[in-house]
Amino acid sequence: MIITRYLSRQILSTTLAITLILLVVVVLGRMLNYLADASQGELDPNVLMLVLSYRLPDFLQLILPLAMLLGILLALGRLYADSEMTVLAATGFSPLKLLGITSLAASVVTAAVALLSLQLAPQGSRKVSELLDVQQNLSEFDLLVPGIFQNTANGDRTTYAESLVDGEMQTVFLHDGVNNRVIMAESAVPIKGEDGRRFVLFRDGTLATGMNSGLEYEVTRFDELGLGLAPRNLGIRPDIEEKTMTNAELSTAGGPAQVAELQWRWSLVLLVPLLALLAVPLSRVSPRQGRFAKLVPAILLYMLYLGLLLMSRDWLAEAKLPVMPGLWWVHIVFAILGFLLFTGRWPARLSARG
C-alpha cells in the first residue's frame, strides 16, 4: 500500500508539473497569434481571454496524455536509475504489480481526458464559434481603439480616431492603400444597410485621391460619405460543425464526418491507458543511461500514435475508411505493441517473479 501511494503520487505530481509547463507554452503561443490579430483590428481585444479560456479543454485533452506518458517515464525511470527497482524486484515486486499501480494513476488521467474530450471541449468549441460569429459581423471600425493607428486588411488600410463618443468616432483618419485614397472627417459611424452590407458613414471631411501616384491628385470636400466594408477575414477560424456537436447529436447524425468526430473523442480517452501500457516497459533504463534516456523515443512514439489517429480520422470523415475498423485499428496496433514490449523487455528475474 505504501509503495502504491508513493508511486501514484510521483506519477501524478510529475504529470501535473509537465501539464502546466506544456499548457503555458501552448497558451502563450496562441495568445501571441491572437494579439497579432487584435492589433490588426481582426479581433476584439476584449474577447481574447474568453477565446483562450474556451480553448483550454481542447489544449488539455492533447497535452494530458503526453504529460502522463512523460510523467511515468520520469517517475519510474528514476527508480531504475537509482537501482530502487532492483531492490523492489528482490522483495517480490512483480512487473504486473507495477503495471497495476501505474494503471491506478492512469485512471485519474483517463477520467480527466474523458471529461475534457466528451463534454468540455465540445462546449468550448461551441462557445468559440458563437464568439467568432459575432466578431465576423463587426467591422474594423467597431473594434477601433481611440488614439491608436490601426493597420487592417493585411496592412492595406490604416485607420485612426481621436475619441469615441456614444458609438460615434471623432476626428477620423483613413488611408486606403489599395484604392490610393485618404479620408479625413470630423466624425464617422458604422452602419448596416437593409441588405445586410456594412458601411461606415463619414461626416464633414475631405477625400483625397491619387496622392501616391506622383501625378495630380484630387481633394473633395463632403458633408457625408459612405464607404462599403468588405467582409472581415478573421485570423481565427471557427471550429468545424462536428466539433461543436454533442455526443448524442453525433450519434444521431451518423454521417462520416460525425462518426469520425465521435470516434476521435473516444480515441483520446482510450489513448491514455494504452500509453500507460507502453510507458511501463519503456521506462526501464540502466543506471548509466539515466532517467531521461527514453524520453525522445517515447515522444516519437506518441507523435506516431497521434499522427495515425489524425490521419485515420480524416480518412474516415472523407469516407475513405470504413466505420469498422475506423480509428480502432490504430489502438489495436499499439495495444499489441505495448503487450510485446511489456512481455519481452523485462529482465528475466522480474519476469519470473511476475
Residue entry with cell 475631405: 206
Specify the pLDDT at position 60: 94
List Cβ neighbours of 188 (8 Å cut-off, separation of 6 or more): 141, 161, 168, 169, 172, 200, 201, 202, 203
73-87, 243-257, 307-321, 338-352 — most confident range:
307-321
Query: Grid coordinates standing for 94?
Result: 512483480
List Cβ neighbours of 19 (8 Å cut-off, separation of 6 or more): 60, 63, 64, 67
Assess contact for 302 and 279: CB atoms under 8 A: no
Specify the pLDDT at position 143: 65
* pLDDT class of 310 with cuts at 50, 70, 90: very high
Model confidence at 10: pLDDT above 80: yes
* Cα distance between residue 85 and residue 346, in whole Å: 12
Amino acid present at 177 = G
Assess contact for 268 and 64: CB atoms under 8 A: no
Specify the pLDDT at position 230: 64
Distance set, CA 117 to CA 4, 262, 326 (Å): 28, 10, 18
Mean pLDDT of the chain: 82
Specify the pLDDT at position 33: 78
Q: Please indicate whether residue 66 or residue 189 has the higher confidence score (pLDDT).
A: 66
Q: Over the stretch 233-291, which tens digit does the pLDDT of each residue have? A: 555 555 577 888 889 888 888 788 999 999 999 999 999 999 999 998 888 877 676 66
* Cα distance between residue 9 and residue 25, in whole Å: 24
Model confidence at 348: pLDDT above 50: no
Q: Within its chain, how far is the Cα of 297 from the centroid?
A: 24
List Cβ neighbours of 56 (8 Å cut-off, separation of 6 or more): 23, 27, 124
Specify the pLDDT at position 81: 72
Specify the pLDDT at position 350: 38
Specify the pLDDT at position 75: 86
First to last CA, the chain: 18
Q: Residue 203 burial by CB count (10 A; 0-12/13-18/19+): exposed, middle or buried?
A: middle
Q: Within its chain, how far is the Cα of 144 from the centroid?
A: 28
